[in-house]
Amino acid sequence: MPLVPPPRPATSAAAVPPPGEPAPSALLQANTPEWSVGDLAAALKRTLEDAFGHVRLRGEITGYRGPHGSGHAYFSLKDGSAKIDAVVWKGVLGRLRQKPKEGLEVIATGKITTFAGKSSYQIVIDSMEPAGIGAWMALLEERKRQLAAEGLFETDRKRPIPFLPRVIGVVTSPTGAVIRDILHRLEDRFPRPVLVWPVRVQGEGAAEEIAAAIRGFNALSPDGPIPRPDVLIVARGGGSIEDLWAFNEEAVVRAAAESEIPLISAVGHETDTTLIDFASDRRAPTPTGAAEMAVPVRAELAAQVHELGARQAGTMLRRIER
């Protein structure tokens, strides 16, 4: 948007110079629009904020020292050639999936705002995520170290999976191949009552829903109208590190570690590893594998019972014959 100065009071016409003589500076100045400082600052504010009302900005966080006393977060984003001030308001900071961290390269989404009084500008951030696989992996390793230091991944916290659960709880998306694979595999091996707690398994709010589902199952009474499961399966299919990120969130890891119900994690494919895998009691390579861990094969148990019965009958017969 072009900057158009406000109209100024008319001035007297400058004298026309004789032919061949250069125009005096007074004539040039008379043809140049005149601004007041306040008018120009206000016009720049309108121009910038209209043009950059929604931007995605990639840069490295610098100058961050934790939340301000007001609860807001102030820092800068920089690259090799420039730096811009940034702010995250208190209400937004609490729900950011990626919290600010000194030195972390991020992609921030927000809007440019200006302070006309000082002709300064900043980006007001609405959301933020690590930039690139390297940033995601660095964040993952740091979070893993922090949670491990609290003892959430210790072996002595692990609970045994019951041999034959009465009820199985499943935390996953209610649609798609994952829940179908789990239910079909359980039906093939040893049918058991299954309670499904539907959740989003990626995107905004997924981590909160998964953590709430784990805690919700734990809050059930064993003899209540909705029986408390004897084992939980938390599952989703494969995907990128961004797709699986909800299962790396601290809320999910803590809910899994605190679960009194033995928990099997089955997130992604065999090569995928998320932080819930370290906090769970067992990790399955796939959702189908989780179903196999949860129940034995009924036909095999029947064969074993038959074999034991035959052995017992044979032993008794030999004793009688003696």
DSSP per position, 54-76: SEEEEEEEES--S--TTS-EEEE
Which CATH number does 157-299 carry?
3.40.50.261
Domain boundaries, the chain: 28-132, 157-299
Which residue, 28, 35, 38, is CA-closest to 8? 35
CA gyration radius for the chain?
33
Query: Higher confidence at residue 204 or residue 66?
Result: 66
Alpha carbon distance 311, 322 (integer Å): 17
Instruction: Specify the pairing of strand 105-115 against strand 83-88.
Output: unpaired
Q: Which residues contact 107 (CB under 8 A, 6 or more apart)?
A: 56, 57, 58, 128, 129, 130, 131
Q: From residue 185, give the alpha-carbon distance in Å to each of 174, 189, 289.
A: 16, 6, 9
pLDDT tens-place string over residues 98-154: 888 888 889 999 999 999 888 899 999 999 988 878 888 888 998 999 999 999 999
Q: Dihedral through CA 109, CA 110, CA 111, CA 116, nearest 10?
A: -120
How far is residue 17's CA from residue 14's CA, in Å, rounded to a whole number? 9
Residue 23 pLDDT level (bands cut at 50, 70, 90)? low
Measured at the CA of 203, the angle between CA 135 and CA 249, to 5 degrees, comes to: 55
Q: Report pLDDT for 129.
A: 87
pLDDT attached to residue 32: 80
pLDDT attached to residue 4: 59
| Count of CB atoms situated within 10 Å of the CB of 28 | 11
The class that CATH gives domain 28-132 is mainly beta
Helix (H, G, I), strand (E, B) or coil at 125: strand
pLDDT in tens, 241-298: 889 999 999 999 999 999 999 999 999 888 889 999 999 999 999 999 999 999 987 6
Structure tokens at 174: 């209610």
